Amino acid sequence: MVRDLSLSRIRQGLRDKEFSSREITQAYLDRIEQLDPGLNSFTQAFREAALAAADAADQRLASGDARPLEGVPIAHKDILATTEGQTTCGSKMLAGYRSPFDATVVDRLADAGAVVVGKTNMDEFAMGSSNETSYFGPVTNPWGTNAVPGGSSGGSAAAVAARLAAGATGTDTGGSIRQPAALCGITGLKPTYGRCSRYGLVAFASSLDQPGPMAQTAEDCAHMLGAMAGHDERDSTSVARPVDDYTGGLEGKLAGKVIGVPAEFFTQGLAPDVQRAVEAALDQYRDLGAEVREIQLPHYPYAIPTYQVIAAAEASSNLARFDGVRYTHRAENPESLIDMYESTRAEGFGSEVQRRVMVGTFVLSAGYYDAYYLKAQKVRTRIRDDFAAAFEEVDLIAGPTSPTAAFGIGEKATDPVAMYLSDLYTTAANLAGVPGISFPCGFSENGLPVGMHLMANFFREDLLLNAAHRYQQVTDWHARVPEGV
């Protein structure tokens, strides 16, 4: 029943009494039980709680008191604190941890009536681009079970692609919503930094992290973002700005809009089949009335090293709290307090987390702070300035989301630099704080999804959603479903 239904279609069907929330939620839970053992996209499913929430939603629907997402089944990335189930961040360090509170975006989606079917697998503490670093095992891509789904929100992307949830939350630090969305053939939006509250999001890199929606279509993401966005007094980085009517602007015409395409995007490293799909999408935008012109982002090539220095530095600080003293994993029979710290962190953190913590500690250390961290912050300012200059000339910036389609499980696991380059086209948006969206625009020579990436100026999520929606009205890449699901 749910295989061919988008979140927006389910939302309308519930209002039209075509089916009940219990029926649709039961269908998703059954699919999770049937299909997820082969995907590993969920760390936990909430069957009893989800069905109870669905029954409550049906009562509100029957009484005519439906909220914006009443009865719609979604999933949450396991980095967002929830009182239901565990909050593990894909790590042994937090295995078994139960949060005493819900994250703000979790609360807001619940207040909008969404039904939560479970929590999705992820790269440990959101550190990874393939969803292979999770303590609970790798997630596989529904489009090819030997391929990665991307990361770190790979569980959310795979769950939506396999129709195990109508939508899912993700978090994006350097591309962790958009890159897995591209590799799994769904739509994923990273909002402007500060648009959605980070309260209750277990921090990786505090100046970069941002929660956002993942779903089949731009229209679906607009419904989710409308519930998630808004100021939160508990988050000092949350921006006090009214929430736009994201669904109301979807049908706007693209005539007169200018799309900039940086020359820096189409260089060595971009797979030819990805380039062809993106160029075809740009031709489609010309047909829709938009002007496409070449622009320059001079400091874009420095985005990856800048991101890696800043993200690692912030991670080393944020993860210092996981020491075995309070609520995390603790090593058994330590010989001393120092031994407890060292053994706990050695046992609780996986190799990728340890690598980034050590790099972050190094770049913040005496003698190296100026050479690495301070210089990275200066380059970050230059990258932000490049975007500011570009958006004086264009409305949107377009390009590929990832240099390649999904790569094989284990293919880059022993080469961290190659793995980091998977985020080549996405990290700059996080460094600048601007919003970005990825949506399907074709398939690779191997039959794997290809994503197109759009960026806009601060708080212009409405423009991103409009542009993606208009493209999806004249194409059907977003409607394709993997075989076997």
Per-residue pLDDT of the chain (485 residues), as tens digits, is 788 999 999 999 999 999 999 999 999 999 999 999 999 999 999 999 999 999 999 999 999 999 999 999 999 999 999 999 999 999 999 999 999 999 999 999 999 999 999 999 999 999 999 999 999 999 999 999 899 999 999 999 999 999 999 999 999 999 999 999 999 999 999 999 999 999 999 999 999 999 999 999 999 999 999 999 999 999 999 999 999 999 999 999 999 999 999 998 988 789 999 999 999 999 999 999 999 999 999 999 999 999 999 999 999 999 999 999 988 899 999 999 999 999 999 999 999 999 999 999 999 999 899 999 999 999 999 999 999 999 999 999 999 999 999 999 999 988 888 888 889 999 999 999 999 999 999 999 999 999 999 999 999 999 999 999 999 999 999 999 999 88
pLDDT tens sequence across 34-46: 999 999 999 999 9
Tokens (6 digits) for 394: 């264009």
Please state, in angstroms and as integers, the Cα–Cα distance from residue 196 to each residue in 226, 294, 475, following that order: 10, 31, 30
Token look-up 């390009």 returns: 399
Q: In degrees rounded to 5, what are phi and psi of residue 44? A: -165, 145
Tokens (6 digits) for 363: 């770049």
Catalytic residues: 77, 152, 176
Token look-up 């795979």 returns: 158
d(CA 302, CA 308): 10
What is the pLDDT, as a whole number, of residue 418? 85
Amino acid at 11: R
Please state, in angstroms and as integers, the Cα–Cα distance from residue 233 to each residue in 133, 173, 198, 241, 276, following that order: 33, 22, 11, 12, 45
Count Cβ atoms below 10 Å from residue 193 Cβ, excluding itself. 23
What is the pLDDT, as a whole number, of residue 182? 98
d(CA 448, CA 161): 12
d(CA 208, CA 42): 25
The secondary structure of the chain in percent helix, strand, coil, rounded to multiples of 5, reads 40, 15, 45
d(CA 326, CA 328): 6
C-beta of residue 456 within 8 angstroms of C-beta of residue 435: yes
Domains and CATH numbers, the chain: 7-256 (3.90.1300.10)
pLDDT tens sequence across 24-70: 999 999 999 999 999 999 999 999 999 999 999 999 999 999 999 99
What is the pLDDT, as a whole number, of residue 191? 98
Angle, helices 7-15 vs 21-35, to 10°: value is 150
What is the pLDDT, as a whole number, of residue 150? 96
Q: Please name which of 364, 360, 328 lies closest in space to residue 346, comparing C-alpha atoms.
A: 328
d(CA 286, CA 221): 24
